[in-house]
Amino acid sequence: MKKLCSYCHTEAKPYFRSRDYNRRVTQEIFAYYCCPNCGLIFIFPVPEDLGDYYPPTYHFAPETLGILKANAAHERYKIKIIQQYVKQGGLLEIGPSYGCFTYLAKNAGFEAEAIEMDAECSKFLNEVAGILTINSSDVCGALRTVKSYDVIAMWHVIEHLPNPWETLEGICEKLNYNGILVLAAPNPDAFQFHILGRYWPHLDAPRHVMLIPIKLLVEKMEALGMRVELITTTDEGGLGWNIFGWEFFFSNMCADLMVKKMLKIVGRAAARLFSLIEKMEGKGSAYTLVFRKKV
């Protein structure tokens, strides 16, 4: 059976096989393929029961709004990025988890709403955080039911979606003119990925079903009538994901909690060692992109 690239429909080549090194939910082996034409990397087959690979501890669950607030502080940089392009209006976050960013957006004056696949997170957002949230794993279907927005945000979500291209089309339809899509995801051109390959924590098999090169997103969004406003791998989030990657690469080597802690320190040292390379634009572990809908 041909493994066709979902972006350019070229036959993809086997790339590597990986396991769930990050969470150890399963001992299964997952095959990843790479498109020789466009560079898209994807898992095949996508596990049918993908939801089963998200352990109960996947989302950090705040017991109160106060705890959410305290944890939201490190996501303020996301609001600053958005406010450079849009100061106010309707904002939709796709995949907010417990909603640290959505909550900050609401406090910054945006009319914030969300679409979230996890039922507990959705309940918290609706009932505790006061953010209108649709509980659905069908992002495209949910998008068809919502109004239009000035900002749509997807922080580390697109790599989880088996149908990213259709989702991006749905998003563009739901953006007002001059509205923006802000999107962050693991960068397959990252220095760390070239060094660590199948062991790269940002591969996160099998939950990350796709690693999308920046140039494909730019091409796709321009074809949908969007203009590039920002491409970076050195925003605060991107720099943080570099450290995360090294910490988890080393701590994933062992299941013992005490040893893990020590290995994380080794990871931090590696992060310092490679920081000069990883701080070069395009080499970081995660990119943040902003696209604006042309009038």
124 contributes a contact to Zn ion by CB under 5 A: no
In the list 38, 115, 203, 290, the residue contacting Zn ion (rule: CB under 5 A) is 38
- Shortest approach of Zn ion to residue 239 CB, angstroms? 29
Is residue 84 a contact residue for Zn ion (CB under 5 A)? no
Site string for Zn ion, 1-20 (x = CB under 5 A): ----x-xx-x----------
For residue 150, what are its two tokens? 């000035």
- Asked if residue 213 lies in contact with residue 188, where contact means CB atoms within 8 angstroms, the answer is yes
Task: Count the neighbouring beta carbons within 10 Å of the beta carbon of residue 170.
Answer: 19
* Reduced DSSP (H G I as helix, E B as strand, rest coil) percent helix, strand, coil of the chain, to 5: 40, 25, 35
Burial 130-168 (b: 16+ CB within 10 A, else e): ebebbbbeebeebbeebeebbbbbbbbbbbbbebbbebb
9 vs 144, beta carbon nearer Zn ion: 9
Q: How far is the CB of 244 from Zn ion (least distance, A)?
A: 28
Q: What DSSP designation does 254 have?
A: -
The interface region with Zn ion, picked from 29-37, 227-235, 239-247, 249-257 by CB under 5 A, is: 29-37
Which CB atom, from 33 or from 249, has the smaller least distance to Zn ion? 33
110 binds Zn ion (CB under 5 A): no
Q: Is 35 in the site for Zn ion (CB under 5 A)?
A: yes
Stretch that binds Zn ion, among 36-44, 147-155, 207-215, 258-266 (CB under 5 A): 36-44
Given a contact cutoff of 8 angstroms between Cβ atoms, the answer to whether 283 and 238 are in contact is no
- List residues binding Zn ion (CB under 5 A): 5, 7-8, 10, 35, 37-38, 40
